[in-house]
Amino acid sequence: MKKSNYKFEFEVYDSINDLPETDAKLLAKARKTAETAYAPYSHFFVGAAAILKNGKTVTGTNQENASYPVSICAERSLLSSASALYPEVAVETMAISYHNHNNNAISNRPISPCGMCRQSLVEYEGRWKNPIRLILSGIDGKVYVISKASHLLPLSFTSEDLK
């Protein structure tokens, strides 16, 4: 038997004010975009904003449905829009933020994409042969910067497994 391990490093910033200007603007866009989410059931508004390799910015929000499995997360909403508008253009960096509108809830810590979004992010990294850098934060507070989305899904299932 052989043991193995997996670990990765990421950057932690105390606030949006400590980020480089381009990252701070993208995160501010994600925070603003979160307020346009359609979240009448969970009241958990998520927004994502991405810079593409062509310099364009694309956004996405969570879109809930009374039939919960029909809902879509902000990250996948963004990836779908980006690939429909610019099918051959990779996402370079995606910022993800949220605002929890439930009673007395706080929104001051980074959240991470759900498992389905992690799988989608890995798929798009492979499709574009380009890592997707992630900026994760709440409506305020600490910010995490992860160099590539695939760090969040070790041992992922990819197109290589289908060959």
Please identify which of the residues 75, 88, 123, 160 carries the catalytic annotation. Answer: 75
Helix axis angle for 115-128 and 74-85, nearest 10°, is 20
Active site residue 160: no
Q: Is 41 helix (H, G, I), strand (E, B) or coil?
A: coil
Closest CA to 93 of 18, 35, 146, 162: 146
Q: Is 126 helix (H, G, I), strand (E, B) or coil?
A: helix
Question: One-letter amino acid identity for 98?
Answer: Y
Q: For residue 35, how many C-alpha atoms fall within 13 Å in the half-sphere facing its CB?
A: 5
List the catalytic residues. Answer: 75
